[in-house]
Structure 1
Amino acid sequence: MNEKIKLKTLAMEKVAQVIDSLSNEAKIRYRVAINEFADVYLDDELVFPELYYAYKQERSSYELQCTNGDKIIYRREHNEHVIQFAQTYFCLPEELFVLLITSCMEIMREVLPLGTVVELNPLHFIPEHQTSSPTKVVITKRFIAPTGYQTYFPYGGSIYPVGEMKKDTTIYFTEPLITNVIHTGYKDDMEEAFLLLVKEDFIVQKNMKSIEFSAQDMKRLQLEIESKERAGKR
């Protein structure tokens, strides 16, 4: 079984969790459609990110043309979110809609291996540390969960070529902040097995999500960091 098939199997487990959270009436009505939607479109790298984009932009409706030529229509109806495809549809309340879309995105997306060198968007850094050009970072950590949070950072790393010259200089970041992959680190079968296990642990079993999908946690963490920095300057 190759990596994509294993990830898809794991994503379908998360889809089953979402379905189990529905009311009995909604389960009967939408179970088949939700499963069919996930089974058909998990392999399309554009579908779930595009639907999340439509949600974040607060679109009342959005039409998506899939790689295979299919058309998907998204509609927002008050606190309900409707996905119409292949002459069928399903409807989810906002919390479960977001959980379905983001969890599938996280499970199916590629995770860069240790040793990868990336460029980050300069806007990631607080004003006094911002630069006019992208900052190069070497990935040295992955799946870092701050204490007391139900969210995690997919990546942590050190500034290239400086490295960790001082304590507590690790930079934590999410996938959308990566503007360019300069060098890809080493990857083998152990890497594939590790990522499958950690995604199952974090996303399926512990119901965690990347901090990119929680503006509340991002703001809370930023305030904590700023408070520590002010305390350190006293």
Structure 2
Amino acid sequence: MSVEVSCPRCGGAVRPPDLMHSESRCLRCGPVPPLHVPEHIGAEIVASVVDRVTVDAEPPHRPAVPLWCPWPLPQGWTMTGVAYAGDDRTGVRATVVACAGPEPLGGGPADLLFVAEEPGVGLGTRFAGIIGPDPGPQLAEALTGPGPGHPEHHGQARIRVAGHPTPLWLANSPTDRSAYAGEARGMWLYAIAWPASAGHLLAEDVVLHDLSEWTPPGLVYGAPSPYLHGKA
């Protein structure tokens, strides 16, 4: 399996541990859990990432980081990528699942990324295009800001995550995308959509399933996501 390795925060090159450093590191961001992105997507690729996530969750590592994927997939949508951030020293600390399909308002193709990560990784904020390693400050502003009907009110999406209603709050992302963030299973959860109008998909009946618990045999795979391969 051919894999691209990069910094989860900036997308730059990552140096592996050596005699001087015990951790992987980015020259710009410092020590980071490297992001591993398989060049292609398919059932075997998903199974290999699931194996890595579940093995790293065994003692003495951390609890498993979920692989959140819409299931069932919206009509016409395919899974277009999967990746994880971590190494042998840290275990898996973040995952991302990419999907693509028709934009819900009929404007052409759309892409969605779902990121689950431990605090401080910075993968979700990188794809969301917001500053900092996590969305905490923006969520605090949204939760204390003006209520519905006010022109500065931050929107909210409600999806079901592993059977539980889960609110996601709109982040102040670049105008080419819409980004929502919240919390599930004690970790950050991001949903990032391109173009921005594709975020309307999250207003529909979206249900996220953890692929590390069970991978549906009916998953349909599409062309690799450009947003996992350097476009974002």
- Does the TM-score normalized on the shorter chain lie above 0.5? no
Give TM-score scaled by structure 1 length: 0.28
Bigger Rg, structure 1 or 2: 1
Larger relative strand fraction: 2
Answer 1 or 2: which has greater helix percent.
1
Q: Which fold has the larger relative contact order, with Cα–Cα distance below 8 Å and residues 6 or more apart in sequence?
A: 2
